[in-house]
């Protein structure tokens, strides 16, 4: 994710199948080897794995599109862009990057440097150096506490790094892991790997996910309402479009949804699992997408932008997403949630003020159309990305434990070191599928060609 520390580098189609197409394609009921709940990155990865092993599956998605927190569209802008995840980190080992290349999609390197403004000018080299040193120092101190097993709030381990303290606190907290450092466990923080070398898909990460999901059968608009008893026999899944019976189940819904109790399990989930999901609550990462026609401030493509002095009550920008005139303002942490609840007009006004403050009052005129994507109020997600609360730094490995031998959780919150990312979600989907296939292995071998 977004926490790597290279100099100036930042810590780092909409729908493939319409509901109508899916209705014609996929039975909404029946018997399968594996039922997969949710067609985000984890669900798609799991289904690909199960399908390639020749096992039957049902990939059940409540929404009328695939992708979950990966969503590309045009909105009112007429330009394909990411409304959710945008960057693919650790491009050398990111499975999505390899798949994007196979699909011959246009991938381009994101700027490895963050841009920093001090007042109304860009930071000088010495200021960039000071910021990088402060960021490294703070990152090391928080990680050292976590590595030593001191599972406390990251804010408590945050050193005073002089006049960069607030900006660094913002960069390491809300901007990187979607939560204020007060709400982040040092142990969880320490485990997040630095993942530099980011790549973006010029036409949107959603297009990439759509391309890799194309061979799959997805049942859209099929909300899983209840998962039946898990003790013996097939597991029964009640969905809004029919019932499914499955030998094994993979659940990929967000940690907030899992903890919310909206999702009914007849065999109650173990308390430790529910507690872990709750501890891995999602921070906020809502977005205002806005137009800056003609690149008036000469932003670099896919570059993260910070302002010296900004604190947790502020927003970071991403400039020229995919090389377009669209920029993102990321409303993160508790301030992001507060602003997002006030609505799109308030978010836009905040960004306009930010632009005026850093580029001059006359710069407001460059702000064109704007649209908010508010993941925190999306009932199928309920937030941005997961971060463990203080004292609960070991929660991810609890979520990774199999349930009743044949139910598996997957999704970004389950990955211990690559959480909060599409790649992490993908890997956990593949792992869950492998576990499901191992469970099925002693049973009847798959019928050749059966899908």
Ligand X SMILES: Cc1cc2nc3c(=O)[nH]c(=O)nc-3n(C[C@H](O)[C@H](O)[C@H](O)COP(=O)(O)OP(=O)(O)OC[C@H]3O[C@@H](n4cnc5c(N)ncnc54)[C@H](O)[C@@H]3O)c2cc1C
Q: How far apart, in Å, are the Cα atoms of 426 and each of 102, 139, 215, 443?
A: 17, 26, 17, 26
Binding of ligand X by 41 (CB under 6 A): yes
- CA 65 to chain centroid, in Å, comes to 16
DSSP string spanning 228-270? ---SSSPEEEEETTEEEEEEEEEE---HHHHHHT-SEESSPPP
- Quick one: which segment of 81-89, 229-237, 290-298, 388-396 binds ligand X (CB under 6 A)? 81-89
User: Among 14, 207, 254, 281, which residue interacts with ligand X (rule: CB under 6 A)?
Assistant: 254
Residues 6+ apart with CB under 8 A from 251: 37, 38, 227, 258, 263, 407, 408, 409, 410
Give the per-residue contact string, 214-253, with ligand X (x = CB under 6 A; - = no): ---------xx---------------------------xx
Residue of 51, 85, 315, 339 interacting with ligand X (CB under 6 A): 85
Contact yes or no for 83/197 (Cβ under 8 A): no
Per CB under 6 A, the list member of 425, 433, 436, 437 interacting with ligand X is 425
Q: How many residues bind ligand X (CB under 6 A)?
A: 40
Binding ligand X by CB under 6 A: which of 412, 435, 437, 439? 412
If binding is defined by CB under 6 A, does position 71 make contact with ligand X?
A: no
Spatial distance between the Cα atoms of 242 and 258, rounded to a whole number of angstroms: 21
Residue nearer to ligand X on the CB measure, 6 or 165: 6
Site for ligand X in 356-385 (CB under 6 A): 375, 380-381, 384-385
Can you tell me whether residue 344 is helix, strand or coil? helix
Q: Of 254 and 354, which has the nearer Cβ to ligand X? A: 254
- In angstroms, what is the C-alpha Rg of the chain? 22
Does 70 help bind ligand X (rule: CB under 6 A)? Answer: yes
Site string for ligand X, 306-345 (x = CB under 6 A): ----------------------------------------
Q: How far is the CB of 118 from ligand X (least distance, A)?
A: 26
Q: How far is the CB of 286 from ligand X (least distance, A)?
A: 7
Q: How far is the CB of 337 from ligand X (least distance, A)?
A: 12
Task: Give the separation between CA 77 and CA 144, rounded to whole angstroms.
Answer: 45
- Measured from the CB atom, is 350 or 366 closer to ligand X? 350
As measured in angstroms, the least distance from the Cβ of 131 to ligand X is: 21
Task: Please list, in sequence order, all residues whose beta carbon lies within 8 angstroms of the beta carbon of residue 198, skipping any fewer than 6 positions away.
Answer: 12, 87, 88, 89, 91, 109, 110, 112, 302
Residues 35, 36, 39, 59: which binds ligand X (CB under 6 A)?
39
Query: Residues 6 or more apart from 34 whose CB is under 8 A from it?
Result: 46, 50, 55, 56, 57, 58, 246, 247, 248, 249, 250, 433, 436, 440
Q: What is d(CA 134, CA 165) in angstroms, rounded to the nearest whole number?
A: 8
Q: How far apart are CA 365 and CA 26, in angstroms?
A: 50
Q: Which is nearer to ligand X, 280 or 292 (CB)?
A: 280
Tell me which residues touch ligand X (CB under 6 A). Answer: 37-43, 60-63, 68-70, 84-87, 89, 223-224, 252-254, 257, 263, 285, 287, 375, 380-381, 384-385, 411-412, 420-423, 425
């Amino acid at each position: 994710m977004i926490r790597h520390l290279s100099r100036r580098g930042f810590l780092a189609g909409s729908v493939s199948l319409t509901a109508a197409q899916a209705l014609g394609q996929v039975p909404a009921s029946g018997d399968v080897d594996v039922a997969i709940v949710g067609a985000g990155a984890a669900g798609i990865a799991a289904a690909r794995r199960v399908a390639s092993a020749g096992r039957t599956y049902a990939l059940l998605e409540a929404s009328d599109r695939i992708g979950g927190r990966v969503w590309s569209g045009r909105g009112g802008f007429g330009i394909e862009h990411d409304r959710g995840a945008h960057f693919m980190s650790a491009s050398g080992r990111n499975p999505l990057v390899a798949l994007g290349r196979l699909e011959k999609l246009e991938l381009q390197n994101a700027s490895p440097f963050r841009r920093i403004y001090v007042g109304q000018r860009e930071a000088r080299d010495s200021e960039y150096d000071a910021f990088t040193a402060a960021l490294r120092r703070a990152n090391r101190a928080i990680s050292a506490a976590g590595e030593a097993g001191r599972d406390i709030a990251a804010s408590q381990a945050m050193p005073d790094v002089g006049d960069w303290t607030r900006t660094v606190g913002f960069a390491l907290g809300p901007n990187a892991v979607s939560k204020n450092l007060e709400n982040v466990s040092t142990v969880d923080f320490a485990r997040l790997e630095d993942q530099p070398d980011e790549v973006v898909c010029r036409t949107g990460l959603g297009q990439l996910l759509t391309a890799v999901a194309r061979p799959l059968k997805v049942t859209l608009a099929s909300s899983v309402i209840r998962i039946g008893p898990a003790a013996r026999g097939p597991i029964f899944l009640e969905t809004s479009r029919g019932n499914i019976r499955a030998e094994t189940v993979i659940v990929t819904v967000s940690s907030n949804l899992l903890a919310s109790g909206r999702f009914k399990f007849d065999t109650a989930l173990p308390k430790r699992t529910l507690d872990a999901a709750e501890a891995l609550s999602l921070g906020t990462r809502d977005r205002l997408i806005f137009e800056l026609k003609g690149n008036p401030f000469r932003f670099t493509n896919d570059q993260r932008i910070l302002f010296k002095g900004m604190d947790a009550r502020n927003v970071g920008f991403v400039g020229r997403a995919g090389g377009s005139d669209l920029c993102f303002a990321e409303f993160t942490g508790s301030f992001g949630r507060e602003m997002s609840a006030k609505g799109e007009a308030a978010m836009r006004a905040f960004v306009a003020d930010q632009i005026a403050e850093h580029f001059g009052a006359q710069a407001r005129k460059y702000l064109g159309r704007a649209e908010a994507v508010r993941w925190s109020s999306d009932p199928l997600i309920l937030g941005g990305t997961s971060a463990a609360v203080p004292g609960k730094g070991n929660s991810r490995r609890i979520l990774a434990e199999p349930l009743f031998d044949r139910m598996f959780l997957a999704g970004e919150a389950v990955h211990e070191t690559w959480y909060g990312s599409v790649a992490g979600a993908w890997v956990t989907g593949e792992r869950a599928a492998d576990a499901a296939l191992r469970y099925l292995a002693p049973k009847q071998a798959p019928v050749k060609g059966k899908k």
